[in-house]
Amino acid sequence: MPTYDYVCTTCGATFEVFQAMKDDALTTCPVDVCTQAEPGHGSVERRISGGGGVLYRGGGFYLTDYVKKSGSGGEGE
């Protein structure tokens, strides 16, 4: 499940929410985040995050996996 970034257009608070892709986007600023006098009434917008997580599985990658080996049919042959 991805983490979504939100910003409140009313109070300016920014926060992250861990929710499934099928879940609807939030529409109001959560009470525990909101900085207004009456918290929980500001409208929020979902923002695009800086990037997704990378998960490496398996044996891994090694520098020697992608190094051109000398004498293996390079230029001029």
Residue 6 has pLDDT above 70, yes or no: yes
Domain that holds residue 5: 1-49
pLDDT value, residue 73:
55
Q: Does residue 15 form part of some domain? A: yes
Residue 72 lies in a domain: no
* 28 pLDDT more than 80: yes
Residue 10 is assigned to a structural domain of this protein: yes
DSSP string, 3-28: EEEEEETTT--EEEEE--TTSPPP-B
Asked whether the predicted pLDDT for residue 70 surpasses 80, the reply is: no
Q: What is the pLDDT of residue 41?
A: 79
pLDDT score of 66: 64
CA dihedral defined by 28, 29, 31, 34, rounded to 10 degrees? -150
Q: What is the pLDDT of residue 36?
A: 74
Nearest 5 degrees, angle CA 45-CA 51-CA 57?
Answer: 135
The model's pTM: 0.56
Number of domains in the chain: 1
